[in-house]
Chain A
Amino acid sequence: MSGLSRFLWERRDEILALTGEHLVLVAVSAAIATAIGVPLGVALTRRPGLARPVLGFANTVQAIPSLALFGFLIPVPVLGGIGARTAIVALVVYSLLPILRNTHAGILSVEPAVVEAADGIGMTRGERLRLVELPLAFPIVLAGIRVAVVVGVGLATIAAAIGAGGLGVLIYRGVATADHRLILAGALPAAALALALDFLLGLVARRWGPRR
């Protein structure tokens, strides 16, 4: 067994625990971002005047360097502080844009003739959304969630800087002690986690996407 493998194997309990924390950070923030981003994206298609400013604002927020955003959030009451809650708030902010943008684009990508048919045969707006628009937009919305999740896995490593736990803990410790093996002990599982989640969501897209 090589040196690195032995190093990782000896720390497998800690790595596994931190991977679990990491997964929770990403999953919770992606779930919250989806719960906000999908309805908001739909709402923006109903109010085209708002779409530009809101998407523009989300774009700008996305451009704030992540470490700075984590830092800014620490003194904020309720949302901020040290720990996982602050990290989740920051991750939600970053995950929101791809989900919001893709939901908006996905709903708008439904052919006008199909939307008109839905109205014309007497669907309510809710029925049209539930039976026609969301199912047809599903692959695009899910692609947004996939981007948010993969990016979120990377960003969540930075959350260790504000005491949120996760695989970033090993990376920071490795950086502080100039120990490459420790850095890899955080980075390799994070990369594997990102690939695994991307693969899983790909399966979801194929299994539950609309067939045409």
Chain B
Amino acid sequence: MPTPVLEFDEVRKRFAPDRLVLDGLRLEVLPGETVALVGPSGCGKTTALKLANRLLEPDGGVVRVFGRPAAEQEPVALRRRIGFVIQEGGLFPHWTVRENVEAVPRLLGWTPERRRERSDAMLATVGLPAGAFAPRRPASLSGGERQRVGVARALAAAPSLVLMDEPFGALDPIARREMQKEFLAWRTRWDAAVLLVTHDLGEAFRLADRVAVMASGRIRQVGPPDTLRREPADAFVREFVSEFLA
């Protein structure tokens, strides 16, 4: 079996002494794989993502990234190798679309020509032609356009691991379906491992190779969509899946 790109090994995390948010989280994301992390609001999905790029530190267990404990890797260098789409978008409001997309390449010291070439390509990938969109600022974009820029920014330096926190969360159902279709099309062009957080099980089933159902800080079941549908591991998963199927 190949070395996982990202691995949570019995990870525990608490924000208050009496309340474990993650309680023995186990999950692997293999090279080239899309794993969706689903679960009710507040179950610890965002917390898990932030442990992967060391925005948070675990209280127990080990998080391994690129085959090595994250704790042993310098946080800034680690984060530049991981694409990160944050839940609220988090675009830099004083920068143009192009400047936002070129943020990581710029931190990495790419030449302006190489950056430009890359941002043109990324913007085309997410369906925002550079000619029309590159000079605009986030405030002038629609919610969906902003989320596309967030995705382009996360992918610009060709990371081999991408963390996506509700990347299509702010969209209406129609725009959401559109973005999901595009995601599947982009996906054939990058071989990164993707951990995709969503609370929408339908989205998880459409986009992911494997789906991990999370509740109260643990993974209840992880497997291909079909397995979850046919052989739910417990009552919680059955309930969770049946609500989507209904």
Contacts and interface: CB of A to CB of B under 8 A. Distances in A.
A206 interface: no
- B interface, size bucket: 20 to 34
Given A121-B104, A211-B94, A116 B79 contact: no
A122 B89 CA distance: 16
A163 B4 CA distance: 75
Contact of B103 (A113, A121, A210): A121
Interface stretch (B80-88, B201-209, B218-226, B234-242): B80-88
Nearest to A120: B84
A11 to B, nearest CB: 48
Interface string B70-104: 00000111111000101111111110000000011
Interface in A32-78: none
B93 A114 contact: yes
A116 B94 contact: no
B55 A121 contact: no
Given A119-B55, A120-B86, A212 B79 contact: no
Contacts of A124: 76
Interface string A101-142: 000000000010110111111111001000110011000000
A120 B107 contact: no
Interface of A: 111, 113-114, 116-124, 127, 131-132, 135-136, 210-212
Interface of B: 53, 55, 75-80, 84, 86-94, 103-104, 107, 137-139, 153-154
